[in-house]
Amino acid sequence: MFEHHENDDFEEYIKERKKGTTETDVEQRIEERAKRRRGKLNGFLCFIAGMAVSFVLVYVGFVIALNKGGFTHIFTSGNGSKLDYKKIEEKTSLLQSIIDKYFLFDEDMTKVEDGIYAGMMNGLDDPYTVYYTKEEYKALNEDTEGKYSGIGASVSQNPKTKIITIVNVFDNSPAKEGGLLPGDIIYKIDGEEVTGTDLDVLVKTKIRGVEGSSFTMTVIRGDEKKQVDLNLTRRSIEVQTVSSKMLNDGIGYVAVSQFDAVTSEQFKSNIESLKSQGMKKLIVDLRGNPGGLLDQVVDMLDYILPEGLVLYTEDKNGNREEYYAKDPGELKIPMVVLVNENSASASEVFTATFKDFKWGKVVGKTTFGKGIVQNVLPLGDGTAIKITTQHYYPPSGYDLHKVGIKPDVDVDLNEGAVIGSDSDNQLGTAVDILKSEE
């Protein structure tokens, strides 16, 4: 235990600071130095005071997104309470003076400010309402725009074993050129074992990076479990959010990893390619798909379904917005949708509407259960917030939030099975269902 307490001195200091008692010469010098830093914190208060106006003015610039969410709002009109800016200013000033007097290390004021803004969003008690720093907002835009600096491969993680497996290797990509193969198990990155690492963390911190930079990926390959070291160089990649292949008996298979700005066009292109190869039946795989952009999933539903309501949203005031399939064309072939416990948000929009239209069977496990919408609001300085604003519902009005969508056929993924491969028993079940529909 290496804690040092000066309780009497500290408490007296706090009392005197609150009373405004004149400090010693040393403390005055500390305070003068602190004033310069507190200028930034006072600027933060002005920022908060202007947020209500900015929110209204900038609302038309919202980007509608579906990632994973909750429901709340900044000011609680029910009891008339709101933020006390004077109290906040006094307390932040006090905290800054304590930091200047007692904190052992140098502080990074940019991080302090970002922490204040993040804390305000965290205080809403909604895990999906968040503040984005400049770096985080830039990364978010890269994710949703469909481009990034990486190696060009899609991966999946077994929810039980946490093993991360290469699902698809993009053509003309660093992954393809470096010798990475579908089915390879990611074991190490630059000599550091990554087995069990969260998939999102691994991709964003280890696999993606500065364009032109290189790293070594060690994979486990084949039944003999051979370790193979691959040297890979990152470059700009258009995200392949959709992949496809023809199975036996005229069955087409399309996997959608997420809903980015490029997804709908990729989906249509893959479907048309499968049609040209003689596709008569279709499996759409949404397992592990965390969601994405609302307009993309609506456009995809418009492509496969007949005309009609496919989705509606409601905000806290009961305002309703409806989305329709308007294209008279539709995909009139037997279909199955594959889902699991990690199919969330936009994936659930697709699945719930697919079920409401009775367009085919849903196979797999109950979905995540995220039935709410977030809006991303840029704040003008390179930062942004994502805030929950609406519930969404399929045509039937079913509220899937925190409940999910139960599949028509419940099937666990066998331990050790790789999604999309010959060992994928959930995919096998979907194939059997379509074969029975002769």
pLDDT tens per residue across span 147-176: 789 999 988 888 778 899 998 888 889 999
- 257 lies in the same domain as 232: no
Of 238, 262, 277, which residue constitutes the final position of a domain? 238
- 98 lies in the same domain as 152: no
- 234 lies in the same domain as 247: no
Question: Residue 57: what pLDDT?
Answer: 29
Q: Is residue 132 in a domain?
A: no
**Paired sense of beta strands 281-285 and 335-339, if any:** parallel
Q: Is residue 128 in a domain?
A: no
Question: Residue 238: what pLDDT?
Answer: 81
Helix (H, G, I), strand (E, B) or coil at 356: helix
For residue 72, pLDDT over 70 is answered with no
Helix (H, G, I), strand (E, B) or coil at 388: strand
- 107 lies in the same domain as 215: no
- 390 lies in the same domain as 251: yes
For residue 115, which of 32, 17, 40 has the smallest C-alpha distance? 40
* CATH number of the structural domain spanning residue 230: 2.30.42.10
Residue position matching structure tokens 């429901």: 71
Please, is 192 exposed, middle or buried when counting C-beta atoms within 10 Å of its C-beta (0-12, 13-18, 19+)? exposed
Question: Residue 15: what pLDDT?
Answer: 57
Rounded Cα distance, 296 and 65, in Å? 10
Q: Which two tokens stand for residue 436?
A: 């029975």
- Amino acid identity at 297: V
Rounded Cα distance, 375 and 438, in Å? 44
**Phi, psi at 391, each rounded to 5°:** -90, 150
Average pLDDT, integer, range 385-400: 96
Angle, in degrees to the nearest 10, between helices 25-49 and 85-102: 140
Which neighbouring-strand residues pair with 324? 309
Average pLDDT, integer, range 403-421: 94
Q: Is residue 367 in a domain?
A: yes
Alpha-helical regions (H) of 20-104: 25-49, 51-58, 85-102
How many independent structural domains does the chain possess? 3
- Which comes out higher in pLDDT, residue 246 or 81? 246
Helix (H, G, I), strand (E, B) or coil at 181: coil
Name every residue whose Cβ is closer than 8 Å to that of residue 129 and which is 6 or more positions away in sequence. Answer: 69, 70, 72, 121, 374, 385, 386, 387, 388
Residue position matching structure tokens 């600096």: 149
pLDDT tens per residue across span 293-322: 999 999 999 999 999 999 999 999 999 999
Question: Residue 128: what pLDDT?
Answer: 87
- 167 lies in the same domain as 34: no
- 21 lies in the same domain as 164: no
Determine the Cα angle at 310 with ends 308 and 315, to 5°: 125
**Residue 259 to residues 63, 222, 240, 272, Cα–Cα distance (Å):** 14, 31, 11, 19
Rounded Cα distance, 185 and 168, in Å? 12
Of 238, 272, 300, which residue constitutes the final position of a domain? 238
Question: Residue 8: what pLDDT?
Answer: 53
Share of the chain above pLDDT 70, in %: 81
Q: Residue 376's CB: how many other CB atoms inside 10 A?
A: 20
**Residue 350 to residues 32, 313, 393, Cα–Cα distance (Å):** 59, 14, 11
- Amino acid identity at 317: N
Q: Is residue 255 in a domain?
A: yes
Q: Is residue 322 in a domain?
A: yes
Question: Residue 11: what pLDDT?
Answer: 57
- 205 lies in the same domain as 278: no
pLDDT tens per residue across span 109-144: 899 999 999 999 999 999 889 999 988 888 788 777
pLDDT tens per residue across span 368-380: 999 999 999 999 9
For residue 405, pLDDT over 50 is answered with yes
Average pLDDT, integer, range 322-331: 89
For residue 191, pLDDT over 90 is answered with yes
Residue-range definition of the domain harbouring residue 97: 7-49+82-123
84 and 92 Cβ atoms separated by less than 8 Å: no
Question: Residue 277: what pLDDT?
Answer: 98
pTM of the model: 0.67
Share of the chain above pLDDT 90, in %: 63
pLDDT tens per residue across span 336-357: 999 999 999 999 999 999 999 9
Rounded Cα distance, 269 and 271, in Å? 5
Q: Which two tokens stand for residue 40?
A: 């930034």
**Phi, psi at 279, each rounded to 5°:** -65, 135
Q: Is residue 209 in a domain?
A: yes
Q: Is residue 66 in a domain?
A: no
- 214 lies in the same domain as 268: no
For residue 52, pLDDT over 80 is answered with no
Average pLDDT, integer, range 205-218: 94
Across the chain, what does the average pLDDT equal?
A: 84
* CATH number of the structural domain spanning residue 327: 3.90.226.10
- 290 lies in the same domain as 376: yes
- 107 lies in the same domain as 186: no
Q: Is residue 60 in a domain?
A: no
Helix (H, G, I), strand (E, B) or coil at 250: helix
For residue 418, pLDDT over 60 is answered with yes
Question: Residue 328: what pLDDT?
Answer: 77
- 248 lies in the same domain as 226: no
